[in-house]
């Protein structure tokens, strides 16, 4: 008795072979080389022929292979974006802005999560560089030399991080921090704390530096308090240290830490803002939802993502993308800030 063909359509392991230019050539009656020119180098054939070939390609389900296209051009049409922690909602708008510009430019964006690990970030970046036209490193935990080495292989733009010799897009934190401290000073606060983020975060160091300089210049006392993680749990675990510090206001590295501290204050009967004012950073989605709503320093996250991709595409095309770009922050005053 004959055995069924292993590739028969009724077999559960059957997969339809992807359409090729030869399938399109068979449907249209033109040569495979003509199909290739129509799909990969538009404008070299008459419009009617190109349109007929493209309609046939859609009919048979043909999809361009970016790796094959890269052979003659050196371009894959893909961009890589590595983020330090993709679960952090601070990156949602940034990623959407980046994807919007990449899509408009006809590029595909590949996202990867470094999980707050420098080793994983480096390994991921090195793997991605073999298959993308350029890289975006968002809030990178790598050191300057590692980022410079990566940028010598393929075009690279750093986001929320400055590295000598590497194009960067960063928020200008000084306006927002200055507005926040000015508001606290006007409300009588003189003893404040900075609830810090990851020690490996360049942005954490920048925020502390600007806070410290501004507070000292205005004769305000400021102390840095460590958190265990840039999360709500990290903010909650820092509560005993915040209470022991005897401060009247706290500025947190990000909104997640601030929200964790706010929740812990509520559970321990500490009135916010009656006994402690709390300010976050970034204005993530949901920062205005708790009671009291969270005051924060807003970063233009979507704009940062858009500008970063534009600069990366400029670098890929051989243009000048060396200078840093800064986008201003602003203080958003809500219910979590009150008189000292």
Band (8; pLDDT cuts 50, 70, 90)? very low
Q: How many domains does the chain have?
A: 3
Helix (H, G, I), strand (E, B) or coil at 118: helix
Q: Using one digit for the tens of pLDDT, what is the confidence trace for 71-105?
A: 455 678 899 999 988 888 889 999 999 999 999 98
Q: What is the pLDDT of residue 73?
A: 54
Give the pLDDT of residue 69: 55
Tell me whether residue 130 is in a domain. Answer: yes
Task: Write the pLDDT tens digit of every residue in 24-77.
Answer: 888 898 888 888 888 776 777 888 888 888 888 888 888 766 555 554 556 788
Structural tokens at position 235: 């903010």
Question: If 0-12 CB within 10 Å is exposed, 13-18 middle and 19+ buried, where does residue 320 land?
Answer: exposed
More confidently predicted of 8 and 217:
217
Is the residue at 52 inside a domain?
Answer: yes
Q: Quick check: is 29 in a domain?
A: yes
CATH of the domain at 110: 3.40.50.2300
42 and 153 fall within a common domain: no
Tens digits of residue pLDDT in 131-190: 899 999 999 999 999 999 999 999 999 999 999 999 999 999 999 999 999 999 999 999
Domain membership of residue 337 (yes or no) is no
- The backbone torsions φ and ψ at residue 8, rounded to the nearest 5 degrees and listed phi first, read -65, 150
* Alpha carbon distances (Å) from 58 to 23, 52, 54, 62, 70: 11, 10, 6, 6, 22
* pLDDT grade for 1, boundaries at 50, 70 and 90: very low
Task: Tell me whether residue 159 is in a domain.
Answer: yes
Residues 119 and 7 in one domain: no
Phi-psi sector, 234: left (phi>0), alpha (psi -120 to 50), beta: alpha
Structural domain boundaries, residue 309: 78-170+301-327
Q: Is 121 in contact with 97 (CB distance < 8 Å)?
A: no
pLDDT at position 130, please? 86
In a domain, 69, yes or no: no
This model's pTM is above 0.85: no
In this structure, are 249 and 280 located in the same domain? Answer: yes
Pair (157, 176) in one structural domain = no
99 assigned to some structural domain: yes
Residues 240 and 159 in one domain: no
């Amino acid at each position: 008795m004959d055995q069924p063909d292993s590739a028969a359509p009724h077999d559960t392991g059957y997969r339809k072979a992807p359409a090729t230019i030869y399938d399109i050539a068979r449907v249209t009656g033109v040569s495979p080389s003509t199909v290739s020119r129509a799909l990969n180098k538009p404008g070299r054939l008459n419009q009617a022929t190109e349109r007929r070939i493209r309609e046939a390609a859609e009919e048979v389900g043909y999809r361009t292979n970016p790796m094959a296209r890269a052979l003659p051009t050196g371009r894959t049409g893909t961009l890589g974006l590595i983020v330090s922690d993709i679960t952090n909602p601070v990156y949602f708008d940034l990623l959407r802005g980046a994807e919007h510009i990449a899509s408009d430019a006809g590029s595909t964006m590949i996202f990867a999560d470094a999980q707050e690990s420098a080793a994983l970030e480096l390994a991921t970046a090195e793997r991605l560089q073999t298959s993308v036209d350029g890289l975006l490193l968002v809030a990178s935990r790598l050191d300057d030399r590692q980022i410079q080495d990566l940028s010598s292989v393929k075009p690279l733009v750093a986001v929320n991080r400055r590295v000598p010799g590497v194009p960067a897009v960063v928020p200008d934190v000084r306006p927002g921090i200055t507005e926040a401290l000015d508001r606290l000073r006007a409300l009588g606060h003189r003893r404040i704390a900075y609830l810090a983020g990851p020690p490996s975060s360049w942005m954490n160091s920048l925020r502390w530096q600007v806070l410290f300089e501004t507070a000292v210049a205005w004769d305000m006392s400021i102390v840095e308090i460590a958190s265990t993680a840039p999360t709500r749990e990290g903010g909650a675990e820092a509560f005993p240290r915040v209470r022991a510090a005897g401060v009247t206001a706290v500025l947190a590295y990000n909104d997640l830490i601030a929200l964790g501290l706010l929740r812990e204050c509520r559970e321990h009967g500490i009135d916010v803002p009656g006994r402690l004012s709390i300010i976050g950073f970034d204005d993530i989605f949901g920062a205005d939802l708790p009671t009291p709503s969270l005051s924060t320093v807003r970063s233009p996250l979507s704009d940062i993502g858009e500008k970063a991709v534009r600069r990366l595409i400029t670098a890929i095309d051989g243009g000048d993308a060396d200078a840093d770009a800064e986008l201003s922050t602003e203080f958003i005053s809500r219910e979590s800030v009150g008189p000292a």
